[in-house]
Amino acid sequence: MYKSLFLLLPLLYGSACTTPAVETSEIPTADPPGLADLADFPIGGAINEGRVRGDSALLAIVSEEFSSLTATNDMKMYAIARGPGALDFTLPDAFVNFAERQGKRVFGHTLLWHYGFPRHLMELDGEAAEGFINSYIDTVVTRYRGRVDGWDVVNEAMATSGGELRETPWLEKIGKAYIPMAFRAADRADPEAKLFINDFNTERDTAKLNGLLALVEEMQADGVPIDGIGFQMHIRMDTDEELIGRSLAKAAATGLLIHLSEVDIIFNRHDDTQGGGEQIVDKITPELLEQQAQKYESLARLYRENVPPAQRYGITFWSFTDRDTWINGFFDLKDWPTLYDEQLQKKPAYYGFARGLRE
């Protein structure tokens, strides 16, 4: 099936660049294949359920292009453990129900993260923090057992740069043991779920990747149930492609699943801090959009070249439209990092990525 779709691609997508040299009657009337139809691994998008509700254009993209969905924020601890009382599952339930109605694989993001750390948990001492982690993960993962395919168990455990662990409240309260503890709790609650450690800049910060891989190898040696490594892959137009390939190959050598979990590609720069954007490009041009298309094409190829088929958990796009991207607000920038423009039209980046998925 995939082969025939690949043969159709130049016909279906050619109109983005040139007029196809075929009779109108030869053009198939069926919808063009979505990205998920073109790939032999899952293609995902990150959304919040509330964002897609009532937005038919966004809903059409979600339903036609993706085979996997991640909640941008609906499944984070701050969305569930809102206060000292009982956990609130309003947002994650709505998200999981939506994703299931759409027939998509559901990916859970994320069980433990330092960002947005619920304030009422700050006062817990080490023992109480361990108790909270075990009971929180048990409750959340059990609730969605058999429905959520995989989880980012620990998100951004490594310091922003270099190879050390990030100084999170969990590290301060419990020490390094909080990481294997979280994976063990998730595995007890759903032994079938794929359990990931997820981080950013690991495709280009070799010290950070080495630190992460050392942690992963230690966990594997200790029999900790870890199934995969997530590369967030928030990259820039000047991120070195050979380095990305080497980093993916190095991570794949662990034998674990590899997820490109939050893909976007920016033209500008930042220092990884909120408000830390540097506006280099202030006007988008057709030439820049074409360069971005080539970068998206390369990224799909690099994944296929460096990650063996059985380890391809998939490629997920983060917020995937220039209208909804987190980049502009977070870094205080104007950028165009995704596959869809502000009017939710496919950009050259979309067609570039589709090319990169083809043989």
Least distance to ligand G3I, CB of residue 5, Å: 31
Catalytic entry in 156, 167, 217, 278: 156
Which parts of this chain interact with ligand G3I (CB under 6 A)? Answer: 72-73, 76, 115-116, 155, 232, 262, 319, 326, 330
Catalytic entry in 65, 203, 262, 297: 262
Q: CB burial class (10 A; 0-12, 13-18, 19+) of residue 127?
A: exposed
In terms of CB distance, is 202 or 319 closer to ligand G3I? 319
Return the number of other C-beta atoms located less than 10 Å from residue 211's C-beta.
Answer: 20
In terms of CB distance, is 55 or 290 closer to ligand G3I? 55
Least distance to ligand G3I, CB of residue 115, Å: 5
Q: Which of 89, 90, 80 is nearest to 113 (CA)?
A: 80
Least distance to ligand G3I, CB of residue 73, Å: 5
State which H helix or E strand residue 269 sits in: strand 269-270
Is 262 considered catalytic here?
yes
In terms of CB distance, is 244 or 327 closer to ligand G3I? 327
The Cα 272–Cα 160 span in angstroms is: 8
Least distance to ligand G3I, CB of residue 3, Å: 36
Is 156 considered catalytic here?
yes
Q: Which of 153, 126, 123, 124 is nearest to 138 (CA)?
A: 153
In terms of CB distance, is 114 or 188 closer to ligand G3I? 114
Residue sitting closest to ligand G3I (CB): 326
> Residues 113, 103: contact at Cβ < 8 Å?
no
The Cα 322–Cα 324 span in angstroms is: 6
φ, ψ at 307 (rounded to 5°): -115, 115
In terms of CB distance, is 76 or 194 closer to ligand G3I? 76
Least distance to ligand G3I, CB of residue 76, Å: 6
Q: Which of 197, 189, 195 is nearest to 165 (CA)?
A: 197
- What b/e string do you get for 128-141 counting C-beta neighbours within 10 Å, with b at 16 or more? ebbebbbebbeebb
Report residue 313 CA to chain centroid gap. 11
* Residues designated catalytic: 156, 262
